[in-house]
Structure 1
Amino acid sequence: MIILQDFIEKTGVELSIDCKKALSKYSILHLKKGEYFLKESHLSTKIGFIISGSIIHYYNIEGKQVTRWVSLHGNFVTGFVSFVEKTPSLENLLCIKNVEMIIYNRDYFMNILMKFREIQLAWRKILELNVIGYENRVYQLLTTNAEKRYLNFQKTYPQFVSQVPQKHIASMLGIEPRHLSRIRKKILKKEIK
C-alpha cells in the first residue's frame, strides 16, 4: 500500500488519514506471464496499480497484434474507455511478465474518487500526463520518420528500452521489429564514432 500512497503523493497531493483508510481497502491480484487482465469485448470492471511486472495493451487488427502501450510497475492499469464508459473493451491487456497488483473494483474506485478531493486531484494529474503522452506519440507518428520516433521514444521513455521487448516497442512506433533493429544498429554506430 505504501507504494501506491507514494505514487499519489509524488503527484503533489497530500493524502488525508481518511483517504489513506479508503485506499487501504484493496485486494491483491497475481497474474502469470501470458494471463489476461482484460480481454477485448469484456467490460473493464477493475483498476489496478502494478506493484511488479508489466502488461501490454494491444488491439487485434486483421489478425495481427498491435501494441498500443505497455504498463510497467508503479503505474495504474485498466481498459480505460471500457472502465469509464461501461462499454466492452476494444483492447486486450496481457501480462508479459508475472504481475502483482493492487486492485479496486470500479464501483468502489469511483466512490472514493467522488468522495475525496485529493484522489480527484491526483487522478486529474495522472490523466493529464497520460493525455499529453498520447498526444505527443500521435504527433510523432504523424510527423516524423521511424528513426526520429525511436530517438524521441528512447528519450521520453528510457525505462521501456530496458524493460519492454523490442517487438512491442516497434509495434508502438508503427514499424516492424526488423526495422527497429536496423535503426538501433545505425544509432549505435553513430554513438561509437
Structure 2
Amino acid sequence: MDELVAFLGENGFTTDQQEAIGRQFHRRELKKGDLFLQEGQISQQLGFVEKGLFHYFCNRNGDEITSYTAGPGDFLVSLSSFLRQRPARETIRALTDSVVWAIHKRGFDQLRRDAPPFEAFYVGVLEEQIVCIEDSRFNLLTLTAEERYQKLLEEEPNLLQEVPLQYLASILGVTPRHLSRIRGHIR
C-alpha cells in the first residue's frame, strides 16, 4: 500500500486523505496468467498496480489482439465497463506475478461523492487517459509501423524488455513476423 499512498501524496492528497482513500482499497495478488477482468464480465473494480505487468486484449477470430499494457503506477480498469456497468470488451491479464490495490465500484463512487479532492483527482486521471487514447489512435492512423516502433523505443523502452513480442506486435498493429523485420532493420 506504500506505493498507492505515495502516489496519492504526489497528487496533492493530505496524509488524512491518503489514509481515508487507502482504506477503501484491498490488496490482490495475481500470478502470471491470472485475470484481473474477463471479457464479458462487468467490471466492479479499479486497480492500482504496485508490482507487475498487465495486458489488455480481446479475442477476435481466435487471435488475441492486445490494445494496452499497464505496469507499476498505472491503473487497471475497463473504463466503459466500470463507468457504465456494461460487459467488458476486453480481458486484463497479468503477464507477471503482480500486486494490485483494488477498490470496488461502491467505494469508488462513495469517494467521488464524499471527497471533493478525490473527484478532482479522478477527473485529472480521466483527462490523462483520454489524451493517451487520442495519441494512440492518432499514431495508429498517421504513423508507419516503423515510426510507431521507433516512438515506442524512445518513449517506453522498458516495454521492449518486459512485454512478449506477440503483444508488442499487436499494440503496434503488425504481425510478430513484421515486427521482427522492423526490429532487425532499426538495430
Find the residue that maps to 2:117 and give its secondary structure.
helix
Preserved CA contact (<8 Å) 2:42 2:85: yes
Alignment TM-score, normalising by the size of structure 2: 0.92
Partner SS state of residue 101, structure 1: strand
Whole-Å Cα distance in 2 between the matches of residues 169 and 79 of structure 1? Answer: 20
Q: How does 1:32-181 map to 2 (within 5 A)?
A: 32-181=31-180
Q: What do residues 65-124 of structure 1 show as CA deviations (whole Å, max 9, x unaligned)?
A: 000101112211012111000011111111111111111111101111222122122222
Deviation at 1:19, TM superposition (A): 4.8
Q: Please state how far the C-alpha of 1:25 moved relative to its aligned partner.
A: 3.3
Give the count of matched residue pairs: 187
- What's the TM-score, normalizing by structure 1? 0.90
Superposed CA deviations along residues 10-44 of structure 1, whole A, max 9, x for unmatched, are 34x23351453232332111111111111111110
Structure 1 segments of 4+ aligned residues over 6 angstroms from their partners: none
Change (3 A) 1:18 1:145: closer
The alignment partner of 1:155 has SS state of: helix
Unpaired runs of 5+ in structure 1?
189-193
Query: Does 1:183 pair with 2:182?
Result: yes
| Alignment-mate amino acid for residue 8 of structure 1 | L
- What is the CA deviation profile of residues 142-189 of structure 1, one whole-angstrom value per residue up to 9, with x for unaligned ones? 11111001111222223322221221111011001121111112111x
Q: 1:158–1:126: structure 2 CA closer, same or farther, 3 Å change rule?
A: farther
Q: Percent identity?
A: 27
Question: Which residue does 1:10 correspond to in 2?
Answer: 10
